[in-house]
Amino acid sequence: MSSWKSIAVFIDPADPDYNIIDYAGWLAQQCDAHLIGIFNMGGLARGPDGYTAVRGDAAIQDCIARRRQREEKAVFAAGQRLAEVGRGRGVSVEFRVLWRANEAEEAVLNSLHCDLVLIGDRKDSWLPQNVTPERVVFEVGVPVIVVPEGWRQPEKIQRVLVAWNATREARRAMTDALTYITLAEQTLLLVIDPDKQEGRFGDVPGADAARHLARHGGNVLTLTENSYGRPIGEVILSVAAREGVDLIVMGAYSKPRTRQLLFGGVTRSMLTSIRYPLLISR
């Protein structure tokens, strides 16, 4: 039984097709979860018609009227799409609009009482500024799935790739992803360069973690890969491409304890090269 019973999805006004709602509806159906759509009204100000220079009372009133009409149309379209997906998937939905000037703080607050947050990865995103997967993970403590732009998810979850390095953060991410792992036909537990971290993984690298997942109902296959000097993020992505995965799971971590450096290294490289849905947790 899924532990994800409340899933929030940030609906990006920059995506005219609202593709992430399809992914969110599919996942909510798999988990029998309530789906919360969060729409950022402030993002419309960054659109092509966001700012207009006008003079005179009549022109100002006309500008205000057109702005309101645009907002109403966008909100209605997003809410209607969410409702349609909810009906089609047989899940309950809830539509929330961020109206205030401090949308970032309000967005974080709306993530607080959810089991999972979905955020789309778009180059031209109009989501609230500073609302990033990193911020949600660190300030709210909720796992986040970052969905690549244009991603089309098959109905069945075939493979999940867990990047395992025997750390607290990786263990937390693996636990947070149990719902997805138990739904998948197969879970690949990836250990990279185990010989360079002698003693960390036990006698057989990944074996204990694989048994742990198997007891929860996961069908687990352990893989070991040598990096041969390649960046770890590159190794993870190459395995993901080779195996055709539906989700990558990894912990967000770094030894330096400053906010600026905490998402350095592997996590930062993965977040700047989203090719598959990526679940991060800490």
Region 164-173 average pLDDT: 89
Summarize pLDDT for 9-24 with one digit per residue, the tens.
999 888 878 889 999 9
Region 168-196 average pLDDT: 92
Partnered with residue 170 across adjacent β-strands are none
86 lies in the same domain as 121: yes
97 lies in the same domain as 223: no
11 lies in the same domain as 132: yes
119 lies in the same domain as 79: yes
Domain that residue 164 falls in: 159-281
**What is the CATH number for 173?**
3.40.50.620
100 lies in the same domain as 199: no
192 lies in the same domain as 272: yes
In a domain, residue 152? The reply is no
By percentage, how much of the chain surpasses pLDDT 70? 80
Number of domains composing the chain? 2
Of 104, 124, 147, which residue constitutes the final position of a domain?
147
Summarize pLDDT for 33-48 with one digit per residue, the tens.
999 999 877 666 555 5
Summarize pLDDT for 75-107 with one digit per residue, the tens.
899 999 999 999 999 999 999 988 765 566 777
| pTM for the model | 0.86
96 lies in the same domain as 187: no
122 lies in the same domain as 254: no
Cα–Cα distance between 237 and 241 in angstroms, integer? 6
Q: What is the DSSP code string of 210-272?
A: HHHHHHTT--EEEEEE--TT--HHHHHHHHHHHHT-SEEEEE---SS-STTTTT-HHHHHHHT
